[in-house]
Amino acid sequence: MAKGITRREFLDRSKALIAGAAGSYYLAGCQQVPTIQETHAAVVIGSGFGGSVAALRLGQAGVETVVLERGRRWPITPTFDTFPRMMDPDKRSSWLSYTTQFPGLKFRVFSKYAGLVEQVKGIGMDVVVGAAVGGSSVVYGAMMLHPTPALFQQVFPPQVSYAEMADVYFPMVKQTMGLGKISDALLALPKYKSSRLFLEHAQQTGLNGQKIYSAVDWNVVQQELNGTIPASATIGESVLGMNNGAKNSLDRNYLKLAEATGSVAIYPLHIVREIKDLPGGGYLVVSDRIDVEGNVTARLEITCTYLFLAAGSVGTSKLLVRAKAKGMLPNLNGEVGKHWGNNGDHLFLRILSEKTGAPQAGPPCTAIFHHDNPIAPVTFEHGPAPFEFETYGQPMLGMGIPQKSGKFYYDSISDTVRLTWPWDGDQKAVSAMWASHAKLNAGTSGLFALDMNAFHKYTYHPLGGAVLGKACDYYGRVLGYSKMYVVDAALIAGSTACCNPAWTVGALAERCMAKILAQDF
């Protein structure tokens, strides 16, 4: 090694020398791979709820756009075997890992594969994120809630109008994704006993239990019940995809419509490594093109005029924090990477003295809203379990409003970005959830609850890192840069007010894109 330089500098110089000698080749690990250079009007990084909205609206405006997505496509197959089973996970369940990544699944060892779920390790909090064309919409329970006016105003800045969101942008997402609620007739079926009990117990204890919107095609669910197609949703298989196509994931609506415009191309299996501004204007986006085993097959360098970051709260924050620390985007302000939260997520298993059925039919379709909880407002959703044996249990995801925030920081030694979270960041919300449990169990068959996060803190709903009015303006424009935007969950400071973030993130992206396309193009 040359004297007086670090190992990192040595490797960087070696790669540069090899690239110069080989012309259009790049050193990926120990293998030379070609470097491909492209130019596009707009690049969208990520294809989740923010990226899919941006892609569709850019396509409809006739803006030539490329969407870079690290995950692969997951088309529904005629043999109904696209996705792994929750109770029998295989390599398809995990993103480039040798072991199971989704919490609660059986521990398995397998070969690395560009699978569905990654567990991002943080300090004080881990984050479960999806990897697919369609982002986390492919691997979530399809529960869709949006905040009440009062709670929305607690967590969002006044510059974001709830009336506008409720009148315009929430309905846009609802229509495009085909959201719907379970019918009373379906809920009355024996298969849905657990969900029905959830609402009955809420009514008995004076809590506000309601059916909620789901991003599923209930006609397909009915076909399951009729026995004309293999069961998926009605046997509790909601999270790791639905093999019969019942889930209305983003690849089946927003992204499909975006590609149909003829102006949008989606590049799966592209991991974005760097973003930087160019001296003459515009941006350089560098990504690794991989195969399904994670091997780098090419280096893609794209120059673009407009750059939209939609890699999720974790992905977007990591890209920005690293770019600022390494001088690739030096004009980013000090708010980048801050105001992060876990949406107050906390998972419980409620134990009853009566049977709840097995397997419990889904998708998740019921929730209890205890917003007048004297400690803090909370919401519980019942996620039906796919266990084939009686558990006397009801899995419940609680959501509150965290009182503190975490942040991302750059570690120069490892050249990585890490998340830190205070141990008591959501303690008030969790205390409120226990009080709600006590009320729900009083006078019902509920006995007690098990804290599924007692020894492992993780969240499905990361929020923040490039927040509205802090790192960005109130429409996602990144402060310090022109024609760079954030349009995903990174915009939201830690909580979507006792709701799953998906609907709010999509609606907020619609709001941002409407303003951006009207004023910046």
CATH number for the domain spanning 253: value is: 3.50.50.60
| Separation between Cα atoms, residue 232 and residue 238, nearest integer Å | 7
Q: Return the structure tokens found at 24.
A: 């259009």
| Domain shared by 306 and 362, yes or no | no
The pLDDT value recorded for residue 352 is 97
| Domain shared by 435 and 412, yes or no | no
Going by pLDDT thresholds of 50, 70 and 90, the confidence category of residue 380 is very high
| Domain shared by 377 and 391, yes or no | yes
Check whether 10 has a pLDDT greater than 60. no
| Domain shared by 319 and 336, yes or no | yes
| Domain shared by 436 and 414, yes or no | no
Domain assignment present for residue 224? The answer is no
335 is catalytic: no
Domain assignment present for residue 335? The answer is yes
Check whether 1 has a pLDDT greater than 50. no
Domain assignment present for residue 492? The answer is yes
User: At how many degrees (to 10) do helices 49-60 and 501-519 cross?
Assistant: 30
Check whether 22 has a pLDDT greater than 80. no
| Domain shared by 115 and 163, yes or no | yes
Domain assignment present for residue 225? The answer is no
Domain assignment present for residue 313? The answer is yes
Tens of pLDDT, residues 99-154: 999 998 899 999 999 999 999 999 999 999 999 999 999 999 999 999 999 999 99
Domain assignment present for residue 15? The answer is no
- DSSP letters along 479-507, please? TT-SSEEE-SGGGS-S--SSS-HHHHHHH
Domain assignment present for residue 370? The answer is yes
* Structural domain harbouring 393: 181-214+346-399+422-455
Task: Reply yes or no: is the peptide bond before residue 359 cis, omega within 30 of 0.
Answer: yes
| Domain shared by 290 and 191, yes or no | no
Under 8 Å between Cβ of 401 and 429: yes
Under 8 Å between Cβ of 72 and 84: no
Catalytic residue among 118, 201, 461, 510: 461
What is the pTM assigned to this prediction? Answer: 0.94
| Domain shared by 370 and 477, yes or no | no
371 is catalytic: no
Number of domains making up the chain: 2
Tens of pLDDT, residues 210-247: 999 999 999 999 999 999 999 999 999 989 999 999 99
Measured CA to CA in angstroms, residue 515 lies from 80, 450, 488 at distances of: 41, 46, 15
Q: What is the CA radius of gyration of the chain?
A: 23
| Separation between Cα atoms, residue 343 and residue 489, nearest integer Å | 11
Q: Is 270 exposed, middle or buried (0-12, 13-18, 19+ CB in 10 A)?
A: buried
| Separation between Cα atoms, residue 141 and residue 135, nearest integer Å | 13
Quote the Cα angle for 444-446-451, to 5°: 150
| Domain shared by 325 and 194, yes or no | no
Per-residue H/E/C for 138-195: HCCCCEECCCCHHHHHHHCCCCCCHHHHHHHHHHHHHHHHCCECCCHHHHCCHHHHHH
| Domain shared by 289 and 147, yes or no | yes
Query: Average pLDDT over the chain, rounded to whole?
Result: 94
Catalytic residue among 69, 224, 237, 381: 381
- CATH number assigned to the domain comprising residue 375: 3.30.410.10
Q: Please name the residue ranges forming H helices in 247-348.
A: 254-260, 312-325
Check whether 21 has a pLDDT greater than 60. no
Query: Which residue did the predictor score with more confidence, 14 or 469?
Result: 469
Tens of pLDDT, residues 189-202: 999 999 999 999 99
